[in-house]
Amino acid sequence: MKKNIPNFITLLNLLSGVFSIIAVVSSHLDWAVFFIVIAAIFDFLDGTFGRLLNAQSEFGKQLDSLADLVSFGLAPGFIMFALIDVSEPLPNITIAEFNIVSSIAFLIPLFSAWRLAKFNIDTRQTENFIGLPTPASALLISSIVLINLQIFSNNNFFQQITTNTWFLLIIVVIICLWQVAETPLISLKFNRLNWRDNQARYLLLIISIILIIVLQVIAIPLIMIAYLILSKIYLK
């Protein structure tokens, strides 16, 4: 029974991703972001319980990738589609009266699928990541929604940037390419708690907490930059 606990948590991750997509279709982007955050928590917990219970398996590995594709690939793709669709200045490139520019957002689930499949067979990613993890890209997209909805920020400057069509399209391209790039990144999994083995992780955690306290949701893109810099420093 204990062996199935991580798989059950993974299914909750998948269910959260489905709810996120339903929220987007229902025009509730705030709830869509909420369910992605919940999915990210379940994604962290399934790996944690898998290690604690020694319940990691090939089945669980494949199930986790399927859940991540929905929660951190397809759901963020729907969110980005909704953001681009109401952005300005949106180019009018239509096929059968349908503006195809917004559909560029669905490159996100395509590249996420590629990244997840690559992760499953890449023996180099046992200790650290190569390419941007899908949960990180999903949270980055979620931060754009929160800025737009003024949930955590009233900064009009950032709102103007994150409602610009070209900015959103550039973000899509950056996320997609970063996911499949040969860029080593620090894994956020703590196998031990000592400082020596986790110095980069603790530094990233401290930087993240400070930035979130000071800048709130606007801190998330800066945290991603800090993540990249620390990975460059510690993974030489």
pLDDT in tens for each of the 236 residues of the chain? 666 787 888 899 999 999 999 999 999 999 999 999 999 999 888 877 767 777 677 787 888 889 999 999 999 999 999 999 988 888 887 787 777 889 999 999 999 999 998 888 877 766 778 888 899 899 999 988 888 776 545 557 777 888 899 999 999 999 999 999 888 888 776 666 666 767 888 888 899 899 888 877 778 888 888 888 888 887 76
Scan for tokens 């560029």, then name that residue: 104
CATH fold for the domain made of 2-183? Four Helix Bundle (Hemerythrin (Met), subunit A) (1.20.120)
DSSP for 3-49, written as a single string: GGHHHHHHHHHHHHHHHHHHHHHTT-HHHHHHHHHHHHHHHHHHHHH
Domain boundaries, the chain: 2-183
Buried b (16+ CB within 10 A) or exposed e, 9-32: bbbbbbbbbbbbbebbeeeebeeb
Show the tokens assigned to 27: 């025009």
Show the tokens assigned to 67: 């859940």
